[in-house]
A and B are shown apart, each in its own frame.
Chain A
Amino acid sequence: GAVVSQHPSWVICKSGTSVKIECRSLDFQATTMFWYRQFPKQSLMLMATSNEGSKATYEQGVEKDKFLINHASLTLSTLTVTSAHPEDSSFYICSARVAGGYYNEQFFGPGTRLTVL
């Protein structure tokens, strides 16, 4: 089955630092990846759509200069939280859509828990 990995699985950082989260599709190519954020006991909120070889599309209210997304290859997208602050502490989940897949075959990564002190 299709597997999506995220690295790191958890990270603790000081306020003001930047954190990079990787999302990889391990056994399939993904032209599109999605980044979601989930606060405790809440649902997932779509942050942005990451397209290989082009700029990411951000959802309303998501600061593109704060959440930098790079989708440099068909198997890797990265999310960089720049100058992180405690309010950025959250669970970040990516998903990858199968290139040429039937309907919306997409697979979710295991998530990255970010804690900003």
Chain B
Amino acid sequence: SQQGEEDPQALSIQEGENATMNCSYKTSINNLQWYRQNSGRGLVHLILIRSNEREKHSGRLRVTLDTSKKSSSLLITASRAADTASYFCATDASNTGKLIFGQGTTLQVKP
């Protein structure tokens, strides 16, 4: 079953603006991961944050994790048209590699 809920479902911004996506989950986790998927393509791993971490950065990406609220956010700063894609959070509850994906946020960055 899907345990991740993401909002917004769709987001449209202008190039240069920041984009924030949120993910909530239901059970305790070992880690949470964010992925990007361009239309009709496979997934690209963006970042993994462990349950004992609160914030992580990678380039223009910033991920936060609040285990007390069972939520995470992905911030993309200074967005580019090439960031247009769907973004999914995925949780691993048992470190087995079995990922439960959220519903995803479709991001459109207008040039």
Contacts and interface: CB of A to CB of B under 8 A. Distances in A.
Given A103-B31, A113-B40, A43 B102 contact: yes
Interface stretch (B41-49, B61-69, B74-82): B41-49
10 smallest A-B Cβ distances: which pairs? A110-B42, A108-B43, A97-B97, A44-B101, A43-B101, A111-B42, A108-B42, A43-B103, A104-B97, A43-B104
Contacts, number: 66
B25 interface: no
Interface residues of B, number: 28
A104 B97 CA distance: 5
A46 B43 contact: no
Given A43-B2, A43-B104, A106 B97 contact: yes
Given A108-B42, A108-B43, A109-B42, A49 B98 contact: yes
Contacts of A111: 40-42
